């Protein structure tokens, strides 16, 4: 039976078409017709009077690569549908879970604080193996993945810090070609994270050579998001330009008060100069002033001079702690410059596994240091990382709200969440609320964005960027990923103090023509793999 959505305010995902009162006819998994008035017999009629009808939201940056297989709606499904997500992108910040070799053994322990545990110890030797697993999984929303270059480096070199040999570069290019052959549309990096902190600019250019001339995407978590933000943007442009790739800069921001406004404006200038020269560049952002990452992820690059397992083994030795202190207080040319005093008073521990460390949850590193009885933060950091085998989650309140507004208003910015799926008592609220927060706060309360602008940044724009064909728009022939909601009733309830709160107010969510969310309840699991 067909479904006819009547009398809604139709925002079609574009900026060009004026919203209008009308009807949408759904047949199977597609939109059959869109018009001011549609009459059709033998249909299920949904009266959307006074409500918005728009494309399903698309989040191109969620770390759900393992959560998709856990089949736990508390982790994956309800949190997405409740805020109107119908499609998500994974394989971001360099982390995908294929290819996997004997050299990749550190991947799963290192990423448990971001991606959570795997299911049944599954390993994916090739990207095709991972995609096959996705295709045989019941999915609540549509999913796609990029190829993370960290996974490729791990498969070849593990956590070794030495440069690629020519033979290893050839191996890396072969993996890149395999990803292209699998239909993946792009590649991601996480250049502040192990092991990619070791990878040089020219090595990345050489690894991505098979992408040249193929209209693929380069999506970096850049090497620096603080004082050298503009230089990191320049590096990203260089890598993308060398291989004729589109550039999408992940979670664009400037970290730390010394870098707010000024560093951001210098970075924007770099982007817009490159755009004027013909570069295809977008940025994405999440609408919160706090970051979420791993404690190991903020270790200075100058400190990471060898295989991480070796560093971890002697992390609590006095001489190692002294060196850690020195590297933070005397940053090298590749270290992010955020004043330690600010960092430790604005960074909160959000995820640990060992019961004896639960007392640190929700406290700043400075507070934890005092609680643990240390004179300064560095022995605490070392002891906590060592006791948790390197896997500690943290939240950093280090972004300017004014900077977020500046980024939100850029015509080439789109909305993401950067959600982490670690199993923790204190997650970042962005996993539960990013898209509803845009509607409730940035549209309804502060008018930073119009509703049409916000919907565009969450629908057509990400669909076009990720090459999702026939998605992100309400038009005849497009896939029926659709939302019905009353803007006045959208609620985002997740906070830094109490994050585990589902968004509310999304009346209906259609995924591929089936009702996947109704009355605050997940229904059909109608998602597919988009790769």
CA distance 143 to 141: 6
DSSP 216-276: -EEEEE-S-SSTTHHHHHHHHHHHHHHTT-EEEETT---BSTTTTTHHHHHHHHHHHHHHH
Summary count for the chain: helices (H), strands (E): 17, 23
What percentage of the chain reaches a pLDDT higher than 70?
Answer: 99
Residue 498 has pLDDT above 50, yes or no: yes
* Average pLDDT score, the chain: 95
Over residues 496-504, mean pLDDT: 93
Over residues 293-310, mean pLDDT: 86
Tokens of 69: 């297989």
Burial class (CB in 10 A: 0-12, 13-18, 19+), 18: exposed
Confirm if 200 and 163 have CB atoms less than 8 A apart.
yes
Residue 73 has pLDDT above 50, yes or no: no
Question: How many Cα atoms are found within 13 Å in the side-chain-facing hemisphere of 487?
Answer: 22
Which pLDDT belongs to residue 72? Answer: 61
Which pLDDT belongs to residue 74? Answer: 53
Domain spans in the chain, listed from the N-terminal domain onward: 57-290+399-515, 296-396
Which pLDDT belongs to residue 336? Answer: 82
Return the CATH number of the domain spanning residue range 57-290+399-515: 3.20.20.140
Which pLDDT belongs to residue 252? Answer: 98
Helix (H, G, I), strand (E, B) or coil at 474: coil
End-to-end alpha carbon distance in the chain? 29
Confirm if 255 and 225 have CB atoms less than 8 A apart.
yes
Over residues 335-348, mean pLDDT: 89
Which pLDDT belongs to residue 132? Answer: 97
Strands 43-47 and 52-55 come out as unpaired
Tokens of 192: 């502040």
C-alpha closest to that of 446 among 504, 505, 402, 416: 402
The CA-CA-CA angle for residues 427, 428, 432, to 5°, reads: 90
Which pLDDT belongs to residue 365? Answer: 96
Over residues 147-157, mean pLDDT: 97
pLDDT in tens, 206-265: 999 999 989 999 999 999 999 999 999 999 999 999 999 999 999 999 999 999 999 999
pLDDT in tens, 406-448: 999 999 999 999 999 987 878 899 999 999 999 999 999 999 9
Residues ≥6 apart with Cβ < 8 Å to 474: 10, 11, 12, 13, 24, 31, 34, 53, 54, 55, 482
Residue 339 has pLDDT above 90, yes or no: no
C-alpha closest to that of 444 among 503, 499, 489: 489
Report, in this order, helix, strand and coil percent for the chain, each rounded to 5. Answer: 35, 20, 45
CA distance 112 to 423: 8
Tokens of 268: 């924007």
Residue 333 has pLDDT above 60, yes or no: yes
Q: How big is the chain by its Cα radius of gyration, in Å?
A: 23
In which region does residue 410 sit, left (phi positive, over 0), alpha (psi from -120 to 50) or beta (all else)? beta
Residue 75 has pLDDT above 80, yes or no: no
Confirm if 499 and 437 have CB atoms less than 8 A apart.
no
Confirm if 463 and 506 have CB atoms less than 8 A apart.
no
C-alpha closest to that of 240 among 260, 264, 216: 216
Tokens of 2: 């067909």
Confirm if 394 and 344 have CB atoms less than 8 A apart.
no
Tokens of 422: 């670690």
């Amino acid at each position: 039976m067909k479904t006819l959505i009547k009398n809604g305010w139709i925002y079609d995902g574009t900026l060009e078409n004026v919203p209008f009162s009308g009807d949408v006819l759904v047949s199977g998994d597609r939109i059959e017709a869109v018009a001011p008035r549609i009459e059709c017999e033998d249909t299920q009629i949904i009266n959307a009077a006074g409500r918005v009808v728009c494309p399903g939201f698309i989040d191109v940056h969620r770390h759900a690569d393992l959560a998709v297989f856990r089949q736990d709606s508390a982790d994956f499904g309800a949190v997405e549908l409740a805020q109107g997500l119908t499609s998500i992108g994974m394989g971001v910040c360099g982390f995908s879970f294929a290819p996997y070799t004997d050299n990749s053994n550190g991947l799963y322990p290192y990423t448990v604080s971001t991606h959570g545990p795997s299911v049944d110890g599954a390993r994916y030797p090739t990207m095709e193996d991972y995609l096959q697993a996705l295709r045989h999984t019941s999915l609540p929303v549509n999913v796609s993945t990029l190829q993370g270059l960290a996974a490729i480096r791990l498969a070849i070199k593990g956590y070794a810090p030495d440069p690629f040999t020519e033979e290893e570069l050839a191996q890396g290019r072969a993996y890149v070609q395999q990803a292209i052959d699998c239909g993946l549309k792009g590649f991601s990096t996480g250049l502040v994270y192990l092991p990619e902190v070791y990878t040089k600019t020219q090595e990345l250019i050489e690894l991505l050579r098979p992408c040249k001339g193929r209209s693929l995407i380069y999506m970096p978590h850049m090497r620096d998001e603080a004082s050298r933000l503009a230089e990191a943007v320049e590096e990203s442009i260089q890598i993308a330009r060398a291989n004729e790739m589109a550039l999408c800069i992940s979670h664009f921001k400037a970290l730390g008060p010394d870098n707010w406004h000024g560093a951001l404006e210098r970075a924007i200038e770099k982007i817009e100069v490159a755009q004027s020269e013909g570069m295809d560049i977008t940025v994405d952002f999440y609408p919160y002033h706090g970051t979420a990452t791993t404690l190991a992820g903020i270790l200075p690059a100058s400190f990471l001079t060898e295989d991480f397992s070796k560093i971890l083994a002697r992390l609590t030795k006095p001489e190692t702690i002294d060196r850690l202190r020195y590297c933070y207080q005397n940053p090298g040319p590749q270290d992010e410059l955020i004043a330690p005093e600010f960092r430790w008073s604005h960074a909160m521990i959000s995820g640990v596994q060992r019961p004896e460390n639960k007392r640190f949850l929700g406290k700043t590193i400075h507070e934890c240091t005092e609680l643990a009885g240390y004179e300064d933060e560095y022995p605490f950091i070392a002891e906590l990382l060592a006791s948790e085998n390197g896997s500690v989650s943290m939240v950093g309140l280090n972004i300017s709200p004014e900077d977020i507004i500046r980024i939100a208003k850029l015509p080439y910015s789109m909305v993401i969440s950067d959600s982490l799926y670690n199993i923790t008592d204190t997650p970042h609220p962005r996993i539960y609320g990013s898209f509803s927060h845009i509607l409730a706060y940035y549209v309804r309360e502060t008018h930073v964005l119009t509703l049409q602008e916000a919907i565009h940044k969450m629908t057509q724009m990400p669909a076009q960027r990720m090459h999702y064909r026939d998605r992100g728009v309400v038009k005849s022939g497009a896939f029926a990923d659709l939302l019905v909601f009353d803007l006045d009733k959208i609620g985002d309830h997740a906070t830094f103090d109490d994050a585990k709160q589902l968004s509310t107010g999304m009346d209906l969510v259609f995924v591929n023509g089936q009702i996947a969310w109704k009355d605050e309840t997940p229904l059909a699991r109608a998602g597919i793999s988009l790769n």
